[in-house]
Amino acid sequence: MKRLLGVALGILTAIGGFVDIGDLVTNAVVGSRFGLSLVWVVVVGVIGICLFAQMSGRVAAVSGRATFEIIRERLGPRAGLANLAASFLINLLTLTAEVGGVALALQLASSVEPTLWVPVAAFAVWLVIWRVKFSVMENVTGLLGLTLIVFAVAVFLLHPDWAELAGQAMAPSVPAGETGGAYWYYAVALFGAAMTPYEVFFFSSGAVEEKWTRKDISQSRLNVVIGFPLGGILSISIAACAAIVLMPRGIEVTTLSQVVQPVVEAGGKLALAFVLVGVVAATFGAALETTLSSGYTLAQFFGWSWGKFRRPAQAARFHIAMIVCLLIGLGILATGVDPILVTEYSVVFSAVALPLTYIPILIVANDKQYMGRDVNGRLTNAFGMIYLVIIVVAAVAAIPLMIVTGAGA
């Protein structure tokens, strides 16, 4: 029974934890401009994150080592340091976006300026990381994030033209008034939002935090292959809501209030209450994960003591690194930069950084010295190589598309 409950809870937290500020904003922007013509990217991204998380979790369970310990060993100190620098900076950018997202969500609930909420959000993130157990932190934010299912409910309450939505999804095309460059720029952004590297840093490090062994591999695989796809359905629901309400009116998403506007129109104040809880929980949970991932990457690469299972005094550099990262994010947001803009850039740069962590994990997952009988099978390797090509193409195309399209403008 305990194992069954563990599977059920893991699935629920995977669903609730899949959607962060990047998914909220990017899917709403895409839905308002392109309808459901980019749904195929979400599907590709969900399959990709399932593959990536499953491999990284299996590697951590078998070897007892997390992502950046493996990267340093496989790439060597110099190449590994370049990898660390790029991955860490992208993670720091994502952390800034998530803390800003918490502040924007709290603004919706209180009408207080987000600049006043930013230090409160950063302090709350630090306090939870300092005092709350890993399992409690992960499960509570994941379960509260499930209230975002109100987006899926709103799709039905809005009584859309189902044939039109199906046509957009099944026969994707560039809408009138949009360019092919912008279409592919947002395809890369959606892919980056679905396969954000911090999710894998957190997933593999969490496996070590919770002392996974080979006997936990089947449970983690079930959590991934059920939880992430259902989380992907939430992402598609966000895009569908925007396509139904905002696209016909020519409204392009630039604020978080516009993201939740279709839900309010569908369900009124009750729906607003649910979506506010979900947005705060999802962004706060992602802020926790990105903050921890900042500490994980540095500590694992440099060989510091790390982990929430250790007292702060036993992992001082790990905790100091997280505090410094939060302060840097706080400083960036204090300049008055728009968190939505930071979010849009963070998902694109996530696609750029993705090969840096994907390739070492794919290599180790095929290493019999590390993995023994749990080495990748033929089917996993086939998908692994296909996604290697997709990831590299997305990474190479991201910056040129950003320049050519003016960041999708």
Distance CA 47, CA 163 (A): 26
Greatest Cα pair distance in the chain: 60
> Quick one: pLDDT at residue 10?
55
> Quick one: pLDDT at residue 14?
59
Distance CA 122, CA 99 (A): 6
Q: How far is CA 75 from CA 56, 62, 91, 304, in A?
A: 17, 20, 20, 19
List of residues 6+ apart from 347 with CB closer than 8 A: 22, 26, 189, 190, 192, 193, 196
Distance CA 368, CA 374 (A): 8
CB distance 147 to 281 below 8 Å: yes
**329-374: per-residue pLDDT in tens?**
999 998 888 888 888 888 888 888 888 888 888 888 888 877 778 8
Distance CA 40, CA 63 (A): 35
> Quick one: pLDDT at residue 328?
94
Domains of the chain: 2-405 (1.10.4160.10)
pLDDT tier, 1 (very low <50, low <70, confident <90, very high otherwise): low
List of residues 6+ apart from 136 with CB closer than 8 A: none
- Tell which residue, 269, 229, 230, 265, has the closest CA to residue 149: 230
Asked if pLDDT for residue 4 goes beyond 60, the answer is no
> Quick one: pLDDT at residue 329?
92
Amino acid at 323: I
CB distance 244 to 155 below 8 Å: yes
CB distance 144 to 16 below 8 Å: yes
Q: Which two tokens stand for residue 181?
A: 């460059």
Q: Which two tokens stand for residue 313?
A: 């005094």
Amino acid at 224: V
Q: What percent of the chain has pLDDT over 90?
A: 29
Residue 379 neighbours by CB distance under 10 Å: 8
**237-264: per-residue pLDDT in tens?**
999 999 999 999 888 888 888 999 999 9
- Tell which residue, 30, 42, 36, 40, has the closest CA to residue 182: 30
Q: What percent of the chain has pLDDT over 70?
A: 95
> Quick one: pLDDT at residue 44?
93
Range name among 115-124, 215-224, 305-314, 334-343 with the lowest pLDDT average: 215-224
Helix (H/G/I), strand (E/B), else coil: 36: coil
Distance CA 207, CA 239 (A): 32
Q: What is the mean pLDDT of the chain?
A: 84
Mean predicted confidence (pLDDT) in 213-230:
76
Distance CA 91, CA 76 (A): 21
Measured distance between the N- and C-terminal CA atoms of the chain, rounded to whole angstroms: 52
* Full-model pTM: 0.87
- Tell which residue, 279, 294, 259, 253, has the closest CA to residue 96: 294
> Quick one: pLDDT at residue 9?
47
> Quick one: pLDDT at residue 3?
53
How many residues are present in the chain? 409
Where residue 64 falls (left for φ over 0; alpha for ψ -120 to 50; beta otherwise) is left
**57-99: per-residue pLDDT in tens?**
888 878 777 777 777 777 777 777 887 888 888 889 889 988 9
Comparing 144 with 170, the larger pLDDT belongs to 170
Mean predicted confidence (pLDDT) in 143-169:
90
- Tell which residue, 333, 394, 381, 386, has the closest CA to residue 97: 333
| Backbone Cα Rg of the chain | 20
Angle subtended at Cα 383 by Cα 15 and Cα 182, rounded to the nearest 5 degrees: 70
Distance CA 297, CA 19 (A): 22
> Quick one: pLDDT at residue 18?
66
pLDDT tier, 15 (very low <50, low <70, confident <90, very high otherwise): low
Q: What is the DSSP string of 147-181?
A: GGGHHHHHHHHT---HHHHHHHHHS--PPTT--HH
Amino acid at 197: P
> Quick one: pLDDT at residue 193?
84
